[in-house]
Amino acid sequence: MLNILYIVGETIPGGTAATYRITGEARELMKLGHNVTVLANRGPGQKKDEIYKGVHIIRNKIRFGAYFSILHSLKALTRRSFIKKQDVILERFSPIGGAGAILSKIFDIPLVLEFIGPHVEEAIDQGDVKNHLLIAMLKKLRDFQYNQADILDVPLRSIVPKRYDSKTIEIIEGTDPDIMKPRGEMPDRVKKNIKNLLDARKRNKNLRCFIFHGSFCPWHGAEDILPIAKKYVNDKDMHFMIVGNIPDRVYDFVKTNNLSNITLVSYVPYEDMAYYIQTADIGLTPFNTNKYRILRKLGFWWIPCKGLEYMSMEKPIVTPGHPILKRCYGPTNFFYKIDDSKALEKAIITASKETLARLHERGKKNRTRIINNYQWSNYMTVLLAEIDKAIKRRVGTKK
C-alpha cells in the first residue's frame, strides 16, 4: 500500500471534465488499496479539508492555481509531518508548476509528472512570448521539474526533450465507463435543452445526429462543423448538436442562416453530459492543427477525453487520422485526412449514410475497447508498475 500525494492546480470540484479525471484517477488508486490525498486549489466557499466523492481533498487558496501550482509547495510545508509520510508524489504538470519537484527534493520522495501536453512550449507559443529572459526562465523551471522527476507520464514521447527519454513513459489516459454509459429516461431539464433535436427525431426516424461537446478553441474544430451544417441544412436525415460554452458568433451564425438542423446547448453540468451523448448517434472530434502551430511542431499528442467518452457511450466517432488517434480509437471509427475540411465533410456524409444497426454495432465495439484498454484501471495498472520500479531505483541508489 502506498501513500500518494496528488498535486493539481484545478479547483475540485470545478464543474469540468478535469474534476472527473482527477477524482477518477484518485478513486481508482484507492480501489487498488492505496491511500490518496489530493492537494487542490480552493474555490469560493469550499472547505480547506474534506472528503469529496470518497477522495480526501486538501485545498489551498491560490490565485491562478491552475497555472501557478508551484505555490502549493509553500503551503504544503506547513504540513511537514504529513508530507513525510508520503511514498510518492503525483503532479499534473503546469508551466509554473514545481510544487511536486520542490517537495520531492526536500523530502526525498519519488515524483511522477503527469502531462496533458507540452505546457511550457504551449505557453510560449500561444502567448507569443518573445522575451528571451522569460523563455529561459520558463525552460529552467521546466528542466528543474523534469530532472527531479522519476517518471514523466506523457501521451506522446515527442513532447519532452529526448535527453529525458529514460524516464519517459507513454500512456494514454482513460475515462470512467461507470459514468459514461447509456442511461435511462433523460430528465426534463435535458429534454428542454434539446427540444429542437427531439422534435426532429419525431418527424424522422431515420435521423442521424452528430454531437460535439467541449471547448471552442479554434483548433478543436467546433466551428468547422458550421459550414457543413449550412450546406446540408435541407438534408432531413442529418442533425448536429453542439454543447459547450458557445460564443455569441456561433448563435449569430445559426440564427442568420436559419440552421434548423443545429441544436445549440450552452454549458451543462458534467454529470448530465452522458444524457446528451446518449441522444446522438455519432461523436465529432474534428481537430484542426492548422490553427495550432505547436501541435504541428511537436506532433499530435492530444487524446481528447470527449472521444473516449463517445466510445464509452457506445458511439462511433468522426476524427482526423492522426497516428495516435488511430492507435487509441481503433478501426471502428470514421477517420479522415488530417486538416482537410473537405475530407471532414465527406466523413460526416459517409457516417450519416450508415444504417443505424451498423452504427450501433460500431458503438458496442467502441465501448468494449474502452473497458478493455482505456478505463482508469488500465491506466493506473501501468503507472503503478512504473512507480514500483522508480521506488526500487531510489532505494537502490541510497545503498
Residues 143 and 232 in one domain: no
In a domain, 201, yes or no: yes
In a domain, 124, yes or no: yes
Query: CB under 8 Å to 256, separation ≥6 — which residues?
Result: none
Grade residue 73 by pLDDT with cuts at 50, 70 and 90.
low
Query: In which region does residue 244 sit, left (phi positive, over 0), alpha (psi from -120 to 50) or beta (all else)?
Result: left
Residue range 367-372: average pLDDT? 96
Residues 238 and 302 in one domain: yes
Amino acid letter, residue 309: E
In a domain, 342, yes or no: yes
Residues 369 and 379 in one domain: no
In a domain, 131, yes or no: yes
- The grid coordinates of residue 328 equal 487509441
Residues 274 and 390 in one domain: no
In a domain, 256, yes or no: yes
What is residue 285's three-state secondary structure? coil
In a domain, 31, yes or no: yes
- The grid coordinates of residue 164 equal 529525458
- Of the ranges 13-17, 110-114, 189-193, 311-315, which one carries the lowest mean pLDDT score? 13-17
* pLDDT, tens only, 262-302: 999 998 888 899 999 999 999 999 999 888 888 777 778 87
Residues 381 and 323 in one domain: no
Domain of residue 245, CATH code: 3.40.50.2000
What is residue 51's three-state secondary structure? strand
**Confidence at residue 346, expressed as pLDDT on a 0 to 100 scale:** 98
**Confidence at residue 16, expressed as pLDDT on a 0 to 100 scale:** 67
Residues 327 and 381 in one domain: no
Check pLDDT > 80 for residue 51: yes
- How many C-beta atoms lie closer than 10 Å to residue 170's C-beta? 15
Amino acid letter, residue 356: L
How far is Cα 23 from Cα 93, in angstroms, rounded to an integer?
A: 16
Residues 276 and 391 in one domain: no
Bridge partner list, 91:
7, 113
Residues 385 and 369 in one domain: no
**Confidence at residue 398, expressed as pLDDT on a 0 to 100 scale:** 58
Chain CA centroid to CA 158, Å? 19
Residues 221 and 161 in one domain: no
How far is Cα 344 from Cα 346, in angstroms, rounded to an integer?
A: 5
Mean pLDDT of the chain: 89
How far is Cα 253 from Cα 133, in angstroms, rounded to an integer?
A: 43
Structural domain span for residue 296: 188-373
How far is Cα 346 from Cα 340, in angstroms, rounded to an integer?
A: 10
Grade residue 20 by pLDDT with cuts at 50, 70 and 90.
confident
How far is Cα 44 from Cα 280, in angstroms, rounded to an integer?
A: 35
In a domain, 183, yes or no: no
The count of domains in the chain is 2
Residues 62 and 194 in one domain: no
In a domain, 10, yes or no: yes
- Judge if pTM exceeds 0.85: yes
* pLDDT, tens only, 174-222: 888 998 999 888 999 999 999 999 999 999 999 999 999 988 888 888 9
Check pLDDT > 70 for residue 30: yes
* pLDDT, tens only, 113-133: 998 877 788 878 877 888 999
Residues 158 and 44 in one domain: yes
Residues 45 and 91 in one domain: yes
Is 118 or 154 the better-scoring residue by pLDDT?
A: 154
